[in-house]
Amino acid sequence: GNADSLPTIMADDRRGSLITCSFSSNAQPMVDAWTQAFAETFKNDEGLHIYQMSLVESRMMSLPGFRHILLSGGRALQAKATADNGIAHGLPLAVHFHFGDTYAIRKALNITNRLTGYAFLVDTFGRVRFAACGMPEDNEVRAMVDCMRTILAERK
């Protein structure tokens, strides 16, 4: 895992990316569900990436001992993906952490509930083109897939 900021990740020059955000481990099943739905559809599309962003606001969890534990967990997840040639669910996966104040990120992305997982589709220019939260419903997955297909069609 890396300690990075969301703007750094979003500036990455890719064809398109799924970025998931969570503030707690309770949101991980939601993040995993969005990731799996995205990867099942686009696993054969080159240039797409998945980024998992853990946002840690707690001062205690930012202390060196706790921070090390969190980053170790992120490194383990990244190592598992690397063992599969950097692939998770058929697409490249990067795990990132942001420690400290998240107000600017939450405001920019309209994140209002820290107890749920969030999913964002970002195009090559770093624009958020799709946003959702919670456990994905079938109609939300279809909307995400349609949006990414539009992004990919625009890049051709």
Give the type of residue at 120: F
Q: What H or E segment, with its residue span, contains residue 121?
A: strand 118-123
CA distance 56 to 37: 25
Task: Choose between 105 and 138: higher pLDDT.
Answer: 138
Are 10 and 42 in contact by the 8 Å Cβ rule? The answer is: no
Task: Write the pLDDT tens digit of every residue in 6-47.
Answer: 445 544 546 789 999 988 778 888 998 998 899 889 988 878
Which backbone phi and psi does 96 adopt, to 5 degrees?
A: -130, 155
Give the type of residue at 134: G
The reported pTM is 0.74
The label of the residue with tokens 């997840």 reads: 77
Task: Write the pLDDT tens digit of every residue in 119-136.
Answer: 999 988 888 999 999 999
Task: Write the pLDDT tens digit of every residue in 59-83.
Answer: 544 446 554 455 555 555 555 554 4
The angle that helices 28-42 and 138-154 make with each other, rounded to 10 degrees, is 50
